[in-house]
A and B are shown apart, each in its own frame.
Chain A
Amino acid sequence: MKINRKSPTAAQKKNRPQVWQIILIAFFIFYMFLPILSTYIFSIATRWDRTIFPEGFTFEFYKEATDASYFTTSLRNSLILSLSTILVSLIIIIPTVYWVNVRLPKAKSILDILMILPFGIPTVVLALALVQVYNGTPIGRSPVLLIGAVFIYSMPFMYRPISNALHSIDALTLTEAGQSLGASTLQVMLKVIIPNIYPGIISGSLLVFATVFAEFTLTKLILGARFKTFPLLLVEYTRINGNIAAAFSVISFTIAWLASLLILWIGKKGQGSSTQAPHAH
């Protein structure tokens, strides 16, 4: 039947998503967002354990959350921890990766393996080992030790994007070009290399921020109550009041979002009017 109409529609159909594809994507989105959505709703629900839909809505839990005794302190601690880890990561990782790329290409495979190690070591083991080793030293059980620990733990997230970005520019030739124009290696790194790997630095910083801001195990085991971060406070409240804990979660999401936007904005500004385009021929 209708053979003559079949061929054009077949071609069109090819580009149109199939029903099962739409269902799959919808399911994926649903699966990803349901917990977040539920958390949002739970944080403003008066009571939601006897009925399918919440019985009523209120902002009372947000007030209680922000009134909590450690709210500001823990928020401040988390920000200090995340931002100083980003700073330490950038200072250590950028020169290392750059140096290996330009001067020691053979060491690149070693560095690659080294950067997978943090994934292989359970955080509990890392935390307890560090506490043991540094016990009795000035930095034992101090925020400095914690920054060191979360730096190791979040290292791969900074390393990958920066390494990829460096790989995509011809770092060696750019370095030599800079040197032949009279620049020292440090000047080349600051004025030529870093501006050209900005996208990598930004995504690395975002990933580290997100990881460290939500970090719980290392903080709990290394410092415990001495340095209360936001995740610690959140966990504490899950035992007291689920709704307030949900409110904390929402605040945490929001801060992570705002911080991401801020870092992106700084990145855009830093990159100036230039664009990261490949060599045109």
Chain B
Amino acid sequence: MAYLELKNVHKTFGNVKAVNDFTLDINKGKLVSFLGPSGCGKTTTLRMIAGFEQPDEGTIQLDNEDITIVSPNQRDIGMVFQAYALFPNMSVRQNIAFGLKMKKTPKVEIEKRVDEVLEMVRLKDTAKRYPHQLSGGQQQRIALARALAVRPRVLLLDEPLSALDAEVRVALRGEIRRIQSDLAITTVYVTHDQEEALSISDQVVVMENGVIQQVGTPQEIYRAPQTRFVATFIGTANQFFGKVGGESEVQCSGLSISTRKLSDFTKGQEVVVLVRPELISVNTSQPSADAGNIIEGIVETVTFHGAVTRLGVHMNQQRVVADITVNSAESISLNQTVWLSFKPEVCKVMAVAE
């Protein structure tokens, strides 16, 4: 039995179906991310778990208790907001103690717990300060400490790092994961940043237009996307549109791509072949036929991304991107003719809807 269960949850705002038939089981102690572009319904779903929104249909159960209509302050669910939402009139200590005071925790216990969570977020020396005297990253850590102090049953994080600098963002997401695993607290993390979701989650829920596209571990989501949306939203994927031409072959305009066996498709069916840029090799001379699919093209763009360099290669009417390591990038210049090659096994074939 899962710890947190959402069953057939629907939510409509005006004419917009924000969340459509959302069903998900979250196991105790896991960190689950809701990932998707803005407006995909991830935050609405989170707010329904928190109790700030009511589902139009469906139920939400926590630890075998139906909490669908329980008011937010009775749910025992902690939340961290994008805008930190620390109480400006209270010191760090008072902020963290707030939830415990609401629970009428004895004073000695409050002091102990505040020190405990401050230690956890490594900000012990800020106890007497006020929120405006802290940096954004510090404020968000205090907000995390405040949510954890009451020992909630579930921790919700709503784009907690979006307002922070890149460097702080990476450091803090590591901290969040560390604390989450230490406490083994069931956590739902909303983000539009795929890197963030992939790097800290046990499970990722990819959403689009209020509908779950795929649920899986970060590896599954990246390596085995089940829909074209997931494949293109998570990482980058080259898309070749065409028709199934043979048992393991897709006919694209002026190009035939060998794939693995296409047993799920009928001949002539419209499909798209997806290939990740890092799985494409770039050759400066024509490779032998056993390299798999070979495409000749001209280098149009060379973009430095740090660890890799991304090439934009023009072939036929299409542009293909391929990632190469920095070392091999030195031998490649603009307008040069190159041969791109990729094995049939790396091609992901999907039906094109309608």
Contact = CB atoms under 8 A, between A and B. Distances in A.
A191 B88 CA distance: 11
Count chain B CB atoms within 10 A of each CB in A170, A180, A184 and give the residue with the most. Answer: A180
26 contacts: A169-B88, A173-B81, A174-B87, A179-B52, A179-B73, A180-B72, A180-B73, A180-B78, A180-B147, A181-B98, A181-B102, A181-B150, A182-B102, A183-B73, A192-B87, A192-B89, A196-B89, A272-B89, A274-B91, A274-B130, A276-B88, A277-B88, A279-B83, A279-B84, A280-B132, A280-B139
Interface in B131-146: 131-136, 139, 143, 146
Rank and list the top 10 A-B pairs by shortest CB-CB distance, nearest first.
A181-B99, A277-B132, A195-B89, A177-B85, A182-B102, A180-B79, A179-B72, A173-B85, A281-B136, A179-B73
Contact of B87 (A187, A196, A275): A196
Contacts of A274: 88-91, 130
A278 interface: yes
Contacts of B135: 280-281
Contact of A280 (B51, B52, B77, B133): B133
A178 interface: yes
Contacts of B163: 281
A33 to B, nearest CB: 38
B73 A182 contact: yes
Contacts of A271: 89
Interface of B: 50-52, 71-79, 81, 83-91, 98-99, 102-103, 130-136, 139, 143, 146-147, 150, 156, 163
A184 B81 CA distance: 19
B132 A279 contact: yes
A176 interface: yes
Interface string A161-203: 0000000011001101111111110010001100110100000
Nearest to A281: B136
Nearest to B72: A179
A281 B137 CA distance: 8
A176 B87 contact: no
Nearest to B98: A181
Given A173-B85, A176-B81, A274-B89, 10 more contacts: A176-B72, A179-B72, A180-B73, A180-B77, A180-B156, A184-B73, A187-B102, A196-B89, A198-B89, A279-B84
B72 to A, nearest CB: 4
Contacts of A181: 73, 78, 98-99, 102, 146-147, 150
A25 to B, nearest CB: 35
B74 to A, nearest CB: 8
A137 B242 CA distance: 85
Nearest to A271: B89
Size bin of chain A's contact surface:
20 to 34
Contacts of B143: 177
Nearest to A184: B73
Nearest to A272: B89
A278 B83 CA distance: 12
Contacts of B136: 280-281
B60 to A, nearest CB: 15
A270 to B, nearest CB: 10
Contacts of A196: 87-89
A182 B150 contact: yes
A179 B215 CA distance: 30
B102 A183 contact: yes
Contact of A170 (B85, B130, B134, B146): B85
Contacts of B139: 279-280
Nearest to B84: A279
A85 B90 CA distance: 30
A182 B76 CA distance: 7
Nearest to B50: A180
A183 B135 CA distance: 26
Count chain B CB atoms within 10 A of each CB in A195, A198, A281 and give the residue with the most. Answer: A281
A11 B83 CA distance: 43
A169 B90 CA distance: 14
Contact of A176 (B50, B89, B133, B134): B50
Contacts of B83: 170, 173, 279
